[in-house]
Structure 1
Amino acid sequence: MKNSLIKKSMTNVLKSNALMSILLLIAIIGVVVTSLIPPQILKYIVDHNLVARSYDKLLFLAIAYIGVLLFIGVFDFVKEAILTVLGQKITKEIRVQMMEKLQRINASFFSSNSSGIVVSRFTNDVDAINTLFTSGIIGMVVDCFKVIGIVVSIWMFSSKLGAVTLILLPAIYGITRLFQKRMLKAQIENRILISKVNNHISESIKNVKMIKAYSKENFMEKNYTKYLLDNYKTVEKVNFYDSVFSPIIQLTRAVVIAFIVVLSSKHLNYLGISLGMVAASIELISNLFTPIENLGMELQDIQEAISGIHRVDDFYSEAEDNFKKNALKVEDIIPVKGEVRLSFNDISFHYEDDNDVLQNINLNLVSNEKVTFVGRTGVGKSTLFKLIMGLLKPSKGNITINGVDVYDIPNSEKRKIFGYVNQSFHIIKGNVADQISLQDKNITRKQVEEAIEFVGMTDYIWSLENGMDTKVTSDTLFSQGQKQLLAIARAIVTNPPILLLDEITANLDSITEDKIVSVLKKASDAHTILSISHRLSSMIASDRVVILEKGRIKNVGAPEVLLQKDNWYRSHIALEKMTWN
């Protein structure tokens, strides 16, 4: 392992549950030992009672036989129960450690890893690790001891029969693994195609208006039919292997038993064993198939678990934020409320491909200044905002607020400094007030009410069934414009000195856009506002406009000055006016 996360979690759980661990060991030994006793009792019954026609102890032996089977069940139940409990505790411990890591992890991790990948680490990978403990290593150890015990028991009856059993082992294992691999492949294909079917249904429902508008019903139906047919074929494969495997194992078992009976017959008597030994050997060999079959599945579980361990270890090895951040408070960064000096000091930034997204950005902003960043798509405007909030670390240079590097500001303090609004508003589980406070206990009810009033949504929200306490179960409760107003309320609820607006009017009609802009004009008096605008004519009144081109600052100045001196800015304004007129 690259680090001791998994080992540490398992050790902690086993140490804190020492008694349960001892019981698990006893249960494992009990399962292995008791599973070898019934054939011995059966041998004794046949040789000393049935063949000798002596029935004195037959009832006692029958009760003992049933009793041992009962003990096997009890030991197996205890083993599985303890493994389940310990497995869940280990899973919980690993996920707790991972969540603590997630809170410390560098924000750049989320730039190269989607939310689906992160969730998969916490769910699928950790569940795979859980199987390593519950049905992987422990199960393999138990089944290996069972196989060894059975082979030794048979060898004690007859060395020739023991040799035959050893020859059978690889053949039985080979047949089992062949079918298991094919079944696994078919099951994986089936899961992939099921996800395609489910995704197609979801996309069809979500985009039904667009599908109908462009008359794409036949196209969607054709794709859906193809996914269903492909899925049906994989289901057929799974069912075929599942139905064929069991009869083949049964047939193999029958052939082996018949072979033993023939070799032990009175005419051949090749094995030289008693009738009781034959009966016991048949039961032992019948019992041999189950652990061998389990070994194949357990090996598969272990392989999946090892890959899960590597992925979790990779996650746990990710770079963390500087722990010095914990010492900084907003009062240390902004001693005088509202007074901020934001400085871009020779900023350059690139992602993993080493191509600079931003190059040598130098800029100084003063308190309550309004600056708009403009430029073609892909010039790095949104990346610049992530750098300003300290979510990404510059490849070169730094950004400071009153001389403090923004990357050193703790995440817990950032919401008191930055208010961020983008094109989309993400609904969280909770009521209307929670959508604004994000369930931050430091934000009071009064602050939420003031934020709602500021954006002009008081009347609408109080018209809802329970006002601010109305549960938000879907995003249909609010229109697109109302969502943007709620996003602004969410951003300003802590009264941060800096507002970052990332193309927030991109998907709005002109009437709603005007309302949003008027709300932002109210906020402009007491905040430093940095905005990205796709329509220059709709941006709030700016003190300066920064034109970005190929990751660099091409020009910067007051809007009226740029209108006279910058051809790109002037032509862009003119084109917008022609379009909207």
Structure 2
Amino acid sequence: MENSLIKGSIVKAIKNNIGISILLVFSVCGVVFTSLIPPQILKHIIDYNLVPKKPDKLLFLAIIYIGVLIFVAVFDFVKEVLLTVLGQKITKEIRIKMMEKLEKINAGFFSSNSSGAVVSRFTNDVDAINSLFTSGIIGMMIDCFKIIGIVISIWIFSGKLGIITLILLPIIYGITRIFQRRMLKAQIENRILVGRVNNHISESLKNVQMIKSYSKENYMEKIYTKHLLDNYKTIEKVNFYDSIFSPIIQLIRATVIGFIVVLSSKQLNYLGISLGMVAASIELISNLFAPIENLGMELQNIQKALSGIRRVDDFYNESEDDFKKNELKIEHIIPLREDVRLAFNEVSFKYEDGNDVLQGINLNLKSNEKVTFVGRTGVGKSTLFKLAMGLLKPSKGSITINGIDVYQIPNSEKRKIFGYVGQSFHIINGTVAEQISLQDHNITRKQIEDALEFVGLMDYIATLENGMDTKVTSDTLFSQGQKQLLAIARAIVTDPPILLFDEITANLDSITEEKIVSVLQKASQAHTILSISHRLSSMITSDTVVILEKGRVKSAGSPEELLQKDEWYRSHIELEKLTWS
């Protein structure tokens, strides 16, 4: 709770909803105090109306008794509503702060954390924090006050009965916690096994053709049956604990009530209390079980919430960009379009402590130069592109455009400088035009049309129901090749001086690949081009080819020079010619 994110979100939510907060405190007090009144009214009814047989005020007291119970229910309802409302406002504030943090966080964070793990922090962990307030701390406070109030009320009736109640508390709590822990363990096992069952069904449906082709139906059914039986066993455990817990608590309650009645009988009269006090004590002790049971669940929720807080704290403490990205503009970085000098200055990079992915990269690119990076898988080609666009910060050295560190360029300016095309095209929720603009209102419709015309997609898009305004609701609207053309259009729509192509023909057939390469050749005429090619023979015309090996520049030069001096390059070119001839 010491973290400024959690504390700040709570304080802000309470300040912005001071009326709700005050009403919540009032309803909590109302729940605690009104729940202690009915046993006192019951005592009064028995001792002053039923035993002396004076029924003159009995109807009035009965109405008061029912009225107080209604008040208890109303206060409890209002408390639950206000807790839910305030809890949601707190979680909203936490998620807003987390999103603000996400915009500032170092891009290296996403290299070691999957999208699923990040989403889990925004959803599951924040929901766990929400439970800290809705069914955790406040619920625990209410139940503790109820227990204290009940014990004090019983102690006023009889000190001996108060001692019995105090002895009873740890026994009930201990039994409750034992069952809750065993049920929680069984429920966790059940969730894991349900996940395995669901995953097996999903995998079976996904690979049904292969399963049938290799006659593996019996094998898959056997595994499914095993997962299902294991799941049923955990369900049986949960049902067993759930079924015997309630009778045990009921038996303890009945035993205690019987014990009190025996001790209060005329023969023993050990407690020395009236009949009304006996009835009130029985009701109070009966009411004692519910808050004790709730305490166990609330402690469990608090433990989950603390785990969520730690994970959110870890996220909020992730390193941010260590400079202000709000001053540089493209006109300061590239005053003249024909003067774009991209330099890699002793660049080294590692994702975590250990071996460098890249080591001592030195390159100087001139305006409109075409450079292709080649090398085996895993040598750091894609990482080099992320560094070039300022998404990652080098461990050592720097990458500059006209002497300005690319890592210091504001993200809002990067799209005007860099156009990136990867191996796949990610569809967003929107129209065809918005697939290109990414809903950037600074990009005009004319720019979108020009980009689509450039890549040769306008004729196809004209056949769609609403042209560029057609909603893209599925991946089937465009073929794989068309998606890559859309990716190129998205990259060039702002006419950036530097284009980066990351193996964009890797998943295409040869005919589609030729079409994409021809578009790339056209796009390369007035841009500085950095490309990664999986096939040397299909790469766009390059001024320079850079061969990477073990994170270093093994060799660099024109394609003609490398054919003469680099055995690896020459052998791969010859091998590809044989393969595709």
Measured against the shorter chain, the TM-score band is over 0.9
Q: Distance in 1 between matches of 2:212 and 2:368?
A: 48
- Per-residue deviation, 1:416: 1.1
Calculate percent identity across the aligned residue pairs: 80
Is the CA contact (8 Å cut-off) linking 1:2 and 1:313 kept in structure 2?
A: no
Is the CA contact (8 Å cut-off) linking 1:322 and 1:408 kept in structure 2?
A: no
Opposite residue 159 of structure 1, the aligned amino acid is G
* Corresponding position: 1:257 with 2:246: no
Instruction: Report the counterpart of residue 297 of structure 1 in structure 2.
Output: 297
- Per-residue deviation, 1:444: 1.7
Instruction: Report the counterpart of residue 463 of structure 1 in structure 2.
Output: 463
Residue-by-residue CA offset, 1:523-564 (whole Å, 9 max, x unaligned): 010111111111111111111100001110000001111011
Instruction: Report the counterpart of residue 150 of structure 1 in structure 2.
Output: 150
Instruction: Report the counterpart of residue 361 of structure 2 in structure 1.
Output: 361
* Corresponding position: 1:501 with 2:483: no
Q: Distance in 1 between matches of 2:216 and 2:467?
A: 41
Tell me whether 13-22 or 394-403 shows the greater mean CA deviation. 13-22
Opposite residue 141 of structure 1, the aligned amino acid is M
Instruction: Report the counterpart of residue 50 of structure 2 in structure 1.
Output: 50
Is the CA contact (8 Å cut-off) linking 1:3 and 1:317 kept in structure 2?
A: no
Is the CA contact (8 Å cut-off) linking 1:503 and 1:532 kept in structure 2?
A: yes
Question: What count of residue pairs does the alignment treat as equivalent?
Answer: 581
* Corresponding residue SS for 2:439: coil
Instruction: Report the counterpart of residue 73 of structure 2 in structure 1.
Output: 73
Q: Distance in 2 between matches of 1:222 and 1:461?
A: 49
Instruction: Report the counterpart of residue 321 of structure 2 in structure 1.
Output: 321
**Do the aligned partners of residues 141 and 264 (structure 1) sit closer, same or farther apart at CA in structure 2, a change above 3 Å counting?**
same
- Per-residue deviation, 1:217: 4.5
Q: TM-score, normalised on structure 1? A: 0.97
* Corresponding residue SS for 1:79: helix
Is the CA contact (8 Å cut-off) linking 1:545 and 1:559 kept in structure 2?
A: yes
Q: Distance in 2 between matches of 1:368 and 1:37?
A: 85
Is the CA contact (8 Å cut-off) linking 1:548 and 1:554 kept in structure 2?
A: yes
**Do the aligned partners of residues 342 and 207 (structure 1) sit closer, same or farther apart at CA in structure 2, a change above 3 Å counting?**
farther
- Per-residue deviation, 1:252: 1.6
Q: Distance in 2 between matches of 1:214 and 1:485?
A: 38
Instruction: Report the counterpart of residue 436 of structure 1 in structure 2.
Output: 436
Opposite residue 286 of structure 1, the aligned amino acid is S
Q: Distance in 2 between matches of 1:470 and 1:209?
A: 34
Instruction: Report the counterpart of residue 178 of structure 1 in structure 2.
Output: 178
Residue-by-residue CA offset, 1:414-458 (whole Å, 9 max, x unaligned): 111111111111111122222222122222222222211111111
Opposite residue 265 of structure 2, the aligned amino acid is S
Residue-by-residue CA offset, 1:125-176 (whole Å, 9 max, x unaligned): 1111111112111111110000000011111111111111111101100111
Residue segments in structure 1 that go unaligned for 5+ positions in a row:
none
Q: Distance in 1 between matches of 2:514 and 2:16?
A: 62
Instruction: Report the counterpart of residue 532 of structure 1 in structure 2.
Output: 532
Opposite residue 78 of structure 1, the aligned amino acid is V
Q: Distance in 1 between matches of 2:164 and 2:421?
A: 75
- Per-residue deviation, 1:237: 2.1
Instruction: Report the counterpart of residue 423 of structure 1 in structure 2.
Output: 423
Residue-by-residue CA offset, 1:382-435 (whole Å, 9 max, x unaligned): 111111011111010000011110100111111111111111111111222222
Instruction: Report the counterpart of residue 95 of structure 1 in structure 2.
Output: 95
* Corresponding residue SS for 2:23: helix
- Per-residue deviation, 1:311: 1.1
**Do the aligned partners of residues 419 and 215 (structure 1) sit closer, same or farther apart at CA in structure 2, a change above 3 Å counting?**
farther
**Do the aligned partners of residues 207 and 420 (structure 1) sit closer, same or farther apart at CA in structure 2, a change above 3 Å counting?**
farther
Opposite residue 297 of structure 1, the aligned amino acid is M
Q: Distance in 2 between matches of 1:473 and 1:397?
A: 44
Q: Distance in 2 between matches of 1:240 and 1:424?
A: 51
Instruction: Report the counterpart of residue 474 of structure 1 in structure 2.
Output: 474
Instruction: Report the counterpart of residue 82 of structure 1 in structure 2.
Output: 82
- Per-residue deviation, 1:218: 4.4
Opposite residue 157 of structure 1, the aligned amino acid is F
Instruction: Report the counterpart of residue 391 of structure 2 in structure 1.
Output: 391
Instruction: Report the counterpart of residue 35 of structure 1 in structure 2.
Output: 35
Tell me whether 458-467 or 134-143 shows the greater mean CA deviation. 458-467
- Per-residue deviation, 1:207: 4.3
**Do the aligned partners of residues 348 and 9 (structure 1) sit closer, same or farther apart at CA in structure 2, a change above 3 Å counting?**
same
Is the CA contact (8 Å cut-off) linking 1:338 and 1:527 kept in structure 2?
A: no
Is the CA contact (8 Å cut-off) linking 2:108 and 2:351 kept in structure 1?
A: no
- Per-residue deviation, 1:511: 0.8
**Do the aligned partners of residues 534 and 214 (structure 1) sit closer, same or farther apart at CA in structure 2, a change above 3 Å counting?**
farther
* Corresponding residue SS for 1:415: helix
- Per-residue deviation, 1:489: 1.3
- Per-residue deviation, 1:303: 1.0
Residue-by-residue CA offset, 1:19-53 (whole Å, 9 max, x unaligned): 22111111111111110010011111111111111
- Per-residue deviation, 1:215: 5.2
Residue-by-residue CA offset, 1:65-104 (whole Å, 9 max, x unaligned): 0010011111111111111111111111111111111111
**Do the aligned partners of residues 532 and 218 (structure 1) sit closer, same or farther apart at CA in structure 2, a change above 3 Å counting?**
farther
* Corresponding position: 1:576 with 2:558: no
- Per-residue deviation, 1:209: 4.6
Q: TM-score, normalised on structure 2? A: 0.97
Opposite residue 165 of structure 1, the aligned amino acid is T
* Corresponding position: 1:448 with 2:440: no
**Do the aligned partners of residues 230 and 483 (structure 1) sit closer, same or farther apart at CA in structure 2, a change above 3 Å counting?**
farther
